[in-house]
Amino acid sequence: MKWLDLPFSKEARGNVKLPGSKSISNRILLLAALSEGTTHIQDLLASDDTARMLEALTKLGITISQSSEHDYCVTGASGKFPVAEADLFLGNAGTAFRPLVAVLSLMQGHYRLSGVPRMHERPIANLVDALRQIGANITYLGNPGYPPLEIGPADMQNRDESLTVNVKGNVSSQFLTGLLMALPLTGKQSIIHVSGNLISKPYIELTLAQMRRFRVEVEQRDWQQFIIPPQQAYRSPGQISVEGDASSASYFLAAGAIGHGPVRVHGVGRDSVQGDTRFAAALEMMGAKISMGDHWIEASSTAANGKKPLHAIELDCNHIPDAAMTLAVTALFAEGTTVLYNIASWRLKETDRLAAMATELRKLGAQVEEGADYLRITPPAHGLTPDIAIDTYDDHRMAMCFSLVSLGTPVRINDPGCVAKTFPDYFELFSQLVHSPKI
């Protein structure tokens, strides 16, 4: 489908069961593959990104069986993949590409990793440089600093019993995640020093939480140093469930806040390990009514008819980098000028999200100031420009964010199929929540 026309919807209300978290799904798949024992995974996300990880692990010799659409059984390889030579295509899945680079660099095999053209534009030099400090043999096959990559056997001879690695923290948290997941495979004490301000700390918390589920502990010191004790090995927890995707929850919660609601999402709540659940607090700052249980969150608005339901905020979004995109579109429905900052990492995602977001918001009549790491958004004084075609840049989050525009005016979403990366049935579920005005 080249485009999808969304009619004006006056209200949003109902319940949504969230798909499994992409970030948790791919971490669990890789850890299960590296573990001793068999792991039964429930509620795994079905998406392009998880499909790329499943394909890669299968090529690497991991036995994976599927009992239903979202339930899998992974037989671990006790820290060493059975296949020592493979070509892996990982699409645009950063949650698969970066950790696999780190893990495969310690496998003493020969591997080639590639992706779609956009993946080959996403920098990986900081991770490669960190891995080379401990003897990794990684070659750039295209532009230096970017995929595709070739990985050969690492030179781990004559290394100290303790490994020390330095990595920059201000480019992508996935680099640190890759190192954290890979270094226990060496069996040595490993110390990771992070230079600069570590972005997306909740994603590192998420990584550490999943590692604990597979019996590996890491000592964290002020987000600048991570110590992995020696002689640890991943061991299967037996059965494990993937909680709902908190980033995906943001679109429905925002719909509830804009379209009066209530909208309740099931699968994440106050017990969630995902940082993007803090999006609900940002909505509350904007004036939404938020309630929360152990495994659900609900958003609504009590604004009187004719009044904008929300008000503008200024927010450091380092802790919710993906969900902050939803705030940028939500700002169209808020009174005043919203400022979202500390979002420079947007430029290194599926597209340059800062530039893309600014361009598409302006189409709708908003005044937008785009900085190196911030957006300043003022909604149009006389309503959103109707019937605009939103370009999505092959970026699933652009498509899902801008669906919210339909709560103010009819809108066309170009290339809606890009949501398959993380949420293939998003528009179907969204259409079940929104309600057009009666004629």
The yes-or-no verdict on residue 60 having pLDDT over 80 is yes
The predicted pLDDT at position 438 comes to 61
Residues 210 and 32: their CA atoms lie apart, in Å, by 10
Q: Could you list the active site residues?
A: 322
Q: Which CATH number fits domain 3-20+243-435: 3.40.50.1820, 3.65.10.10, 3.40.50.1220, 3.40.50.1100?
A: 3.65.10.10
Cβ distance 149 to 140 under 8 Å? yes
Q: Record the tokens describing residue 435, joined without a space.
A: 């309600």
Residues belonging to the chain = 439
The predicted pLDDT at position 304 comes to 59
Q: Record the tokens describing residue 240, joined without a space.
A: 């494990």
Q: Where are the domains of the chain?
A: 3-20+243-435, 22-241
Q: Which CATH number fits domain 22-241: 3.30.465.10, 3.40.50.300, 3.65.10.10, 3.30.1490.20?
A: 3.65.10.10
pLDDT, tens digit, 9 for 90 and up, residues 212-268: 999 999 999 999 999 999 999 999 999 999 999 999 999 999 999 999 999 999 999
Residue 67 CB neighbour total at 10 angstroms: 10
pLDDT, tens digit, 9 for 90 and up, residues 120-165: 999 999 999 999 999 999 999 999 999 999 999 998 765 678 899 9
- Which residues are CB-contacts of 357 (< 8 A; sequence separation ≥ 6)? 325, 328, 346, 368, 375, 398, 401
The yes-or-no verdict on residue 85 having pLDDT over 90 is yes
> What does the radius of gyration of the chain's CA atoms come to, in whole angstroms?
22
The predicted pLDDT at position 161 comes to 80
> Rounded to an integer, what is the distance from CA 285 to the centroid of its chain?
23
22-241 shares the fold of 3-20+243-435: yes
